[in-house]
């Protein structure tokens, strides 16, 4: 499964484009659309939006592969998009160790979706941007469920 245009749009809107390196809310050096800068990478002169798009595509692909590896149940496109955004934002380790994943792999899709809404803290404080992002993920998750129920 691959991220939809809507899923990619959520990541891009949530991350925003930055042509020069910055330190994100979690303390990581970041550039482009939320690309965490690895030790071997240097972007001293910044990057173009096209370069940021290429980094984003590679980073999203890694998140997609992680979701595919960890999830043991069928997903709707919206659920997949929400999980890819979650994994892109928080990392494979957080998804892998989460109650969200345990609920999902136990077949409790509704309870798993609700778990998204708990991941709104940065540095021990509720973060408005994370709250908005998790609510957008939840909307993708539940909209997909509603469409399938109607079908």
Any idea what the CATH number is for the domain that residue 67 is in? Answer: 1.10.530.40
Q: How much is the average pLDDT of 122-141?
A: 95
Q: What is the pLDDT of residue 150?
A: 47
**Residue environment code for 101-114, b if the CB has 16+ CB neighbours within 10 A, otherwise e:** bebbeeeebeebbb
111, 123, 110, 109: which is closest to 25 by C-alpha?
123
Residue 27 forms part of a structural domain:
no
In the structure, what pLDDT confidence band is assigned to residue 54 with cuts at 50, 70 and 90?
A: very high
Q: How much is the average pLDDT of 27-52?
A: 95
Residue 114 forms part of a structural domain:
yes
pLDDT at residue 8 tops 50: yes
Do 76 and 94 form a contact (C-beta atoms < 8 A)?
no
- The total number of structural domains in the chain stands at 1
Q: What is the pLDDT of residue 58?
A: 98
Q: Say how far apart CA 146 and CA 144 lie, in whole Å.
A: 5
Q: Please give the positions annotated as active site.
A: 15
Do 140 and 6 form a contact (C-beta atoms < 8 A)?
yes
pLDDT at residue 144 tops 80: no
Q: How much is the average pLDDT of 94-115?
A: 98
Higher-pLDDT residue of 144, 94: 94
Residue 24 forms part of a structural domain:
no
In the structure, what pLDDT confidence band is assigned to residue 122 with cuts at 50, 70 and 90?
A: confident
Tokens standing for residue 148:
């399938």
Q: Say how far apart CA 112 and CA 99 lie, in whole Å.
A: 8
Phi/psi of residue 135, each to 5°?
-65, -40
Phi/psi of residue 75, each to 5°?
-125, 150
Task: Tell me what percent of the residues of the chain surpass a pLDDT of 70.
Answer: 95
Residue 41 forms part of a structural domain:
no
Sign of CA dihedral 5, 81, 25, 42: negative
Tokens standing for residue 44:
């001293």
Q: Which domain holds residue 100?
A: 5-14+49-150
Q: What is the pLDDT of residue 123?
A: 83
């Amino acid at each position: 499964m691959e991220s939809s245009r809507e899923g990619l749009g959520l990541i891009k809107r949530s991350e925003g484009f930055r042509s020069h390196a910055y330190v994100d809310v979690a303390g990581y050096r970041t550039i482009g659309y939320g690309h965490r800068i690895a030790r071997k990478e240097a972007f001293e002169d910044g990057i173009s939006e096209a370069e940021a798009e290429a980094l984003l595509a590679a980073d999203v692909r890694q998140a997609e592969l992680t979701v595919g590896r960890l999830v043991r149940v069928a997903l709707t496109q919206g659920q997949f998009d929400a999980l890819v955004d979650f994994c892109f934002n928080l990392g494979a380790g957080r998804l892998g160790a989460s109650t969200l994943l345990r609920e999902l792999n136990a077949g409790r899709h509704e309870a798993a979706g609700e778990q998204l809404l708990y991941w709104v803290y940065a540095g021990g404080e509720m973060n408005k941007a994370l709250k908005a992002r998790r609510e957008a993920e939840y909307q993708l998750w539940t909209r997909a469920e509603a469409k399938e129920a109607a079908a």
